[in-house]
Structures are given as C-alpha cells and as structure tokens.
Amino acid sequence: MYETRFAEVLNSARETRKAVGSFTCYNLEELEAVIRAAERRKAPVIVLVSPSSFRSAGGKRLVRGFKAAGAHSSVEVLVQLDHVTERSSIERAAECGVDAVMADGSKLPFRENLAFTAEVARSMRPRGIGVEAELGRVEGQEDRTGEALAGAMTEPDEAVEFAEKSGADCLAIAVGNVHGNYSGTPSLDWERLAEIRDRLPLALSLHGASGLPDDDLRRAISCGVAKTNVNTELRAAYFGCLEKELGPASETLDLKRLGDHLTDAITEVVEAKLRVFGWTD
Ligand SMILES: [Zn+2]
C-alpha cells in the first residue's frame, strides 16, 4: 500500500474527530481567502478545482498557480481536482502536480465504478496522488446554485466491498446530502452514515456541506466524516459582496478594492466553517 499525503491529512483529522475543509476556488481571491482562514484556524485545507475550471484554457495554469501559492503558507494546502470522470483529465491533473483527484464513477453501475476507481488508484497512488471516489450519487449542480433532491443513497454492503477493492483513500457518500441548495429542510440518514462508518476503514467525505445546519455538520463529523466539501456558500458570499459593491456607483469601482472585499467576505465564511469542523484553537 502506498500512503498518500491526502490520506494522511484526512486520517489524522479523523482520529481527532475533525474534518478537513475542502473549498472550491475559482480564482485567486477565493484561494487567498481559504488560505488566510486556514492559517488563522491552524487547519490543513483542501483547495478544490472544479472540472469546468480545469477544462478551461487556463486550467493547468490555475492548478499550478494554486499549488505554488499554497506552498507559501504556514498550513498544509492540498490541491484536488474535483469530480472528474475521464482518465485523460486525471492524467493531465497529475502532470500539473495535484495532490489528489476525485475519480467520480458515481454515474456508472457498481462494478464499472469499482473498476474505474481501482484503475485510477493503481496509477495515481504510487505517484503520491490521493484518490477519492463516490459511491451512491450526490445530486445537484456543482458550479451553479439550484435546488436538488437527494440522489441514490450509498449502500453499506456495497461500500464495504468498494473500500476493500478500489484502493481509494477516501469515499464520498450519499446519505441525503446534495450539491447546491437543499429543497426543503435537509435530512441526513444518520443510521446509514453510522453503519458505513462502523464497517469502513477509510475516510468518508461529505459533499454538499453548504446549506447543512452547523449541528448536522458537527454530528456528521462526530460520525466519522473526515472531509467536507463547500462550494455554494462561498459563491453566495462572493456574489453578495459583488452586488453590494457594484450597486449604483459601479463606474467609480476600484477593482483592487473589490478584490480585497471579496477576499474578506469569503475568508469570513471559510473561517466560520473551519470552526464548525473542529479547528477551534
Ligand atoms: Zn461534490
């Protein structure tokens, strides 16, 4: 077995009943916010690059830029390519130096998802690149905000076999969590989560942590979730700040100041989340 830095960071958080905050960043203002908040909380963080960012013309530069910026910080900053379905993108991400990839085979039938994940793990982990997989399906749009209903839930029996055979470092589970906004009050299947936690040796991740009440997040983390993905709430802070700044006087807008305010707004959200995730001192 090759231990990856990704697995180490997640497993040590898990041992102390914390979760590693994982935040989608589309630009440098957001990256700066995440790093600043992580330094304040003395927390390791994972910076997520969305597949749409990575596919765009500047995608490789974005990853390399995030990696370089992350190296200049007092905390551990890992960069992960999120929700990728094609081997070619995973390979390109590896060439750019990502610390982890999320190999998303959740739309495939169980056996195909397992084969896909195992193949990615075989090629990535010996190179020190962590692999997260998804079993069950977390519904909703990753880059846009829309309401989503809960997808297919993770089956504990399947999760056990998947953990044994896939070689993944971390498993994203579907227990009633969704990407984007929750339609109605979110209700997680706690019994399912507890059963999966009890039977699985590896770190679990919870996607769609935006919009879950803090008590639910704390409970999920105490139930063994070691990685929490947040995107929607950062975008809300970004757009909320833009709206306030642009207002009627947008012709006199100072772009640098706007960037600083955006960074401040997002830093606040990230820091509050990290407190909830257990990084309190
Ligand atoms: Zn996700």
Q: What is the mean pLDDT of each run of 10 residues along the chain (281 residues)?
A: 86 95 94 97 97 89 96 97 96 97 95 97 96 90 64 91 96 91 86 95 92 93 94 87 75 68 91 94 80
**pLDDT tens digit string along 60-90?**
999 999 999 999 999 999 999 999 999 999 9
Residue 259, in any domain of the structure: yes
Instruction: Please give the pLDDT value at position 117.
Output: 98
28 CB neighbour count, 10 Å cutoff: 14
Residue 204, in any domain of the structure: yes
Residue 281, in any domain of the structure: no
Residues marked as catalytic: 82
Residue 222, in any domain of the structure: yes
Q: Output the CA 83–ligand 1 centroid distance in Å.
A: 6
Number of domains in the chain: 1
Structural domain harbouring 26:
5-276
Residue 72, in any domain of the structure: yes
Residue 63, in any domain of the structure: yes
**pLDDT tens digit string along 97-132?**
999 999 999 999 999 999 999 999 999 999 999 999
Residue 185, in any domain of the structure: yes
Give the CATH number for residue 213.
3.20.20.70
Residue 172, in any domain of the structure: yes
- Which residues are near ligand 1, the ion (C-beta closer than 5 Å)? 207
Determine contact, residues 48/80, Cβ cutoff 8 Å.
Answer: yes
Quick one: DSSP state of residue 250?
G
Q: Output the CA 260–ligand 1 centroid distance in Å.
A: 27
Amino acid sitting at position 14: R
Q: Output the CA 75–ligand 1 centroid distance in Å.
A: 24
Determine contact, residues 266/33, Cβ cutoff 8 Å.
Answer: yes
The closest of 68, 73, 22 to 47, measured between CA atoms, is 22
Q: Output the CA 257–ligand 1 centroid distance in Å.
A: 31
- Stated pTM of the model: 0.90
Token pair of 196 as six digits:
């999966």
List, in sequence order, every residue forming a beta bridge with 80; answer none if it has no partner: 48, 100
